[in-house]
Chains A and B, each alone.
Chain A
């Protein structure tokens, strides 16, 4: 009985009694959620265009951040380093398409998935061989002051990160709907063969998609890296982005955003109000269970394409 009260009653009372604290938790969750969305976006872009479940997205975040920090350590100014890292990600996309994707065209999605796990190992080793494996600080001049707004403590950094994330998403949305390349990308996502038959070069499109998601990885890497230092654990946020992904639907950009926000808030609220009851540190699996239960009712995720099966 006591346990039931503790689960179903006390947390809600607490929420009601301390609304500012609750608001703080929710806002913090939303801000973390934006960061998850950033990582999930990269997944969605690639999955949409090529039906490859790119497990290496997390390590691409790490790799991009490592390149940026490494270049900045040479004394290159930040904005040039960002451009250079972006160039590195584009080259990486080219190499991946050439060496890995092209020979694996038309293989089973499982196989491509495994290949991206292999790529994960490779990039991890490669990045750390190039730039070393100790924790690096990434300082690109975003202020990290904490300020108070109507009794709610907010971190300036998180807000800026959220704004950048929003701008990025907005930019991608325009890129996808208004530009010719974006239209071609959507055509490829819809139907490979139809796209090919009207003369859209599939290989170029893949390079573009991988480059764009390399760019998204760079932004995510900058944000996470500035927040918690550039180190190996950065690549583990990919594991945090996966439930976001399936919650939102593998093929939907808006799904990645909304999913990220839901997971961010859910995770924080659960950790703070229910976590202590069962020993804490539930952040690691809560998102997965949430996503799984959700999928039981809606197997294609929030905004995923309706799954139609024919015999």
Chain B
């Protein structure tokens, strides 16, 4: 009864093609944004912000990046963390080389650098497809990790090889470094994520997104009807890497504070890939749902045995956690291979008909 578009008349093409054509959707998204902006910071404590919400936001952004490439353009990539690493390391280089540079500009510049690297590693995608391409993207993962480990220029020749974010202000407020409060960092991450999500949404429902989807569904057919596969695929790689790069920069500046190249290891790539698959390929909402799932699940698994009253040695618990995590992923793929976004879609259909499902 509540979720129904009956009676909402569209009187212009603009209204018909709006980003969220149904009024309830608009209210829901507006409410969600308002809650995230106003309610959450006032009730969440330091731990919630630092351990759950900030990584959730940042990894959602990375998941959106990967989703643009894998879900929309159909190019499977296992090198997400490498592009995030480019973002992180370039953010460090920019902000130490130009201390006065606005933090948001730093994010954008690091994203652009990541996009450049993504372009280079996207070149094989014209010739190589499917799993061959996936393995080829692992080249980016290992090569870039090695580079950031071995070339001292990237960590300013310090002896430890770690990059540590110096204190930086944004519009007069401490935004990065040890003195920045969790609330500030949360706000910055939130605003960046919202803006980039809107951009992504408009990309995928516009000409660019349609060409990506055509390439994804069948690249030869798309080529025959006039899409240029090379440009389209490279654009997908560049934009996806831009998103991952910005996410990587925020991962360093707003979440970790200090990192080694190991922070952007292949495990992170898989984590982001899980988010995309579990959330739903080719769905921006899915990226958020998947990120929430993957960020929350380990926290839940770590705390669940204590809450239930079991006590076991820490290493056994870690192994069981791993087992449950793997098992849940397989179970999830069996139950709903098209992800959480699909579940949400089914729920919406049900809601529309409720309470009269004929």
Contacts and interface: CB of A to CB of B under 8 A. Distances in A.
Partners in one complex: yes
Contact of A121 (B76, B326, B334): B326
Contacts of A278: 150
Nearest to A129: B319
Interface residues of B, number: 47
B135 A246 contact: yes
Interface stretch (A102-110, A163-171, A221-229): A102-110
B195 interface: no
Contacts of A103: 334
B348 interface: no
Contact of B337 (A104, A118, A296): A104
B320 interface: yes
Interface in B88-132: 124, 127-132
B321 A125 contact: yes
A266 interface: no
Contacts of B131: 53, 109, 113, 246, 250
Contact of A246 (B136, B266, B321, B326): B136
Contacts of A104: 333-334, 337
Contact of B277 (A114, A123, A250): A114
Nearest to A111: B337
A28 to B, nearest CB: 22
Interface in A89-115: 99-100, 103-104, 107-111, 113-115
Interface in A281-304: 281-282, 284-285, 288-289, 291-292, 295-296, 299-301
Nearest to B138: A288
B274 interface: yes
Interface string B310-333: 000001100111111111111001
B142 A285 contact: yes
A288 B79 CA distance: 12
B262 to A, nearest CB: 13
Contacts of A115: 329-330, 333-334
A55 B220 CA distance: 28
Given A129-B319, A292-B124, A311-B221, A114 B135 contact: no
B235 interface: no
A126 interface: yes
Nearest to B278: A114
Interface in A107-155: 107-111, 113-115, 117-126, 128-129, 133
A90 to B, nearest CB: 20
A297 to B, nearest CB: 8
Given A243-B135, A288-B138, A295 B323 contact: no
B337 A100 contact: no
Contact of B143 (A117, A125, A289, A296): A289
B135 A110 contact: no
A110 B134 CA distance: 10
Contacts of A292: 124, 128, 136, 139
Given A125-B323, A285-B143, A245 B135 contact: yes
Contacts of A126: 319, 323
Contacts of A118: 325-330, 333
B101 to A, nearest CB: 30
Interface residues of A, number: 52
Given A119-B330, A120-B326, A285 B146 contact: yes
B293 interface: no
Interface string B290-319: 000000000000000000000000011001
B132 A288 contact: no
A309 interface: yes
Given A119-B326, A281-B150, A100 B124 contact: no
A295 B132 contact: yes
A258 interface: no
Interface in A169-195: none
A278 B143 CA distance: 12
Q: Among A109, A129, A301, which residue has the most Cβ atoms of chain B within 10 A?
A: A129
Interface in A31-86: 53
Nearest to A121: B326
A76 B322 CA distance: 29
Contact of B129 (A107, A119, A122, A299): A299
Given A104-B333, A129-B316, A299-B128, A309 B146 contact: no
A100 B138 CA distance: 26
Nearest to A120: B326
Contacts of A128: 319, 322
A279 interface: yes
Given A107-B337, A111-B277, A115-B333, A122 B132 contact: no
A307 B133 CA distance: 14
A242 B135 CA distance: 7
Given A110-B277, A124-B326, A291 B139 contact: yes
Given A100-B330, A110-B281, A282 B146 contact: yes
A299 B219 CA distance: 16
A285 B334 contact: no
A291 B136 contact: yes
A239 interface: yes
26 contacts: A107-B337, A109-B130, A109-B131, A110-B76, A117-B273, A117-B274, A118-B326, A119-B326, A121-B326, A124-B319, A125-B320, A126-B323, A129-B319, A133-B319, A239-B266, A242-B135, A246-B135, A279-B150, A285-B143, A292-B124, A292-B128, A295-B124, A295-B127, A299-B132, A300-B132, A310-B220
Nearest 4 CB-CB pairings of A with B: A121-B326, A122-B326, A125-B322, A125-B323
Interface of A: 53, 99-100, 103-104, 107-111, 113-115, 117-126, 128-129, 133, 239, 242-243, 245-246, 250, 278-282, 284-285, 288-289, 291-292, 295-296, 299-301, 307, 309-311
Given A117-B270, A118-B328, 14 more contacts: A109-B131, A120-B326, A122-B327, A122-B330, A128-B319, A243-B135, A243-B138, A250-B132, A278-B150, A284-B145, A288-B139, A288-B143, A295-B136, A296-B124
